[in-house]
Amino acid sequence: MLRKSLLALLFLAACQPSSPQDFGSPSVKSQNIEESGIQEYPGLYSELPSGTIPPAPRNPLPLTGANFCAGVQNAMKTSKQNMAEEIALICNGNAPTPLLASLWSAPFEGVGVPTPVNIRVVPIDEETSEILLAYSMRLPKKSVQTLLGEEKHAVVPYDSGNNAEDPMKMSFKFLDPPANTGDCDTGFLVEQFVQVPGRFDDTTQHELKLYLMHPNNFDFFMAGRTLVAPSTQFKRSVVFRGFLTDPADASKTISTTILHFVMNSREQHERMVAAFMEFIRADMLALFNEQKS
């Protein structure tokens, strides 16, 4: 049973590795991924050879829930990812739902214990559990940089540490992605390996896709991470994340995350959920800390 619970945990970690710093907690090891600074470069077009090519138009939009939801709908018009069920929780068409307003009213800002909103955490049957969570965060980087962090985050390994009751390791690697047919801005394919030594190994593939929501606008973005094919362990795996420049501070971003997993609980629903929630909280801290660096 324990094995089954742990397996369920692993699945989530694939989507969002955590990195608590305290001793004995699961840890995430940063990979050496190049990060480069961003420098302003005003006056570009007047300093270089003029040519006759005009710069792209601007498309500024008010930083509202309505424009956020309209942007999500724009992206979903071309998206091939199955996320409609999750998106419907926060956007009713172009209208923000009460849940979205609630999430945005109290985003996690790196202080205290992060607590996701429990939308639906139930046993579907003896061996299957559904976990549906949501949370919002105010992140200390611009929305573009926050979005780009999704790629880096996707392959950060996870290690519960040897002190864990059942040591668990997760690792990821990027595979050659399928052709982008215009359904998203950038697409990745991530292979996830989960191992509990001596007990099981599990491998799944996930599509990670990044979207611009509005043309010529860089305040609204979203990312989706979806399971390519169900496995014995994982029936559904969706991580939706939307990004909006913080209306109160353009140097920050409000991110909104929906996590939805249907997984094999192996008759250990309660235990699996408890462990899962611990992981989510650790992951929220990890995400926040990544954006600070």
List residues binding other proteins (CB under 8 A): 36-42, 44-45, 47-56, 58, 144-145, 147-148, 151, 174, 176-188, 212, 215-216, 218
Closest by CA to 225, choosing from 269, 270, 186, is 186
Select 86 or 207, whichever has its Cβ closest to other proteins: 207
Q: Report in angstroms how near the CB of residue 145 gets to other proteins at its nearest.
A: 7
Select 40 or 125, whichever has its Cβ closest to other proteins: 40
Phi, psi of 121 (to 5 degrees): -130, 100
Q: Report in angstroms how near the CB of residue 58 gets to other proteins at its nearest.
A: 6
The contacts found for 222-230 with CB under 8 angstroms, 24 or more apart, are 222/71, 222/72, 222/75, 223/147, 223/150, 224/79, 224/81, 224/83, 225/15, 225/154, 225/190, 226/81, 226/82, 226/83, 228/189, 228/204, 229/204, 229/205
Q: Report in angstroms how near the CB of residue 186 gets to other proteins at its nearest.
A: 4
Phi, psi of 246 (to 5 degrees): -60, 120
DSSP lists the bridge partners of residue 227 as: 206
Q: Report in angstroms how near the CB of residue 42 gets to other proteins at its nearest.
A: 7
Tokens 């369920």 locate to: 8
Select 49 or 198, whichever has its Cβ closest to other proteins: 49
Residues in the chain: 293
Rounded CA-CA distance 168/160 in Å is 5
Q: Report in angstroms how near the CB of residue 139 gets to other proteins at its nearest.
A: 16
Q: Output b/e per residue, 205-244; b: 16+ Cβ within 10 A.
A: ebbbbbbbbbeebbbbbbbbbbbeeebebbbbbbbbbbbb
Beta strand extents in 140-252 (DSSP E only): 158-159, 169-175, 186-196, 200-212, 220-227, 234-245
Select 35 or 201, whichever has its Cβ closest to other proteins: 35
Q: Report in angstroms how near the CB of residue 177 gets to other proteins at its nearest.
A: 4
Q: Can you read off the two tokens belonging to residue 84?
A: 């409609």
Select 178 or 197, whichever has its Cβ closest to other proteins: 178
Select 117 or 189, whichever has its Cβ closest to other proteins: 189
Q: Report in angstroms how near the CB of residue 205 gets to other proteins at its nearest.
A: 14
Select 37 or 62, whichever has its Cβ closest to other proteins: 37
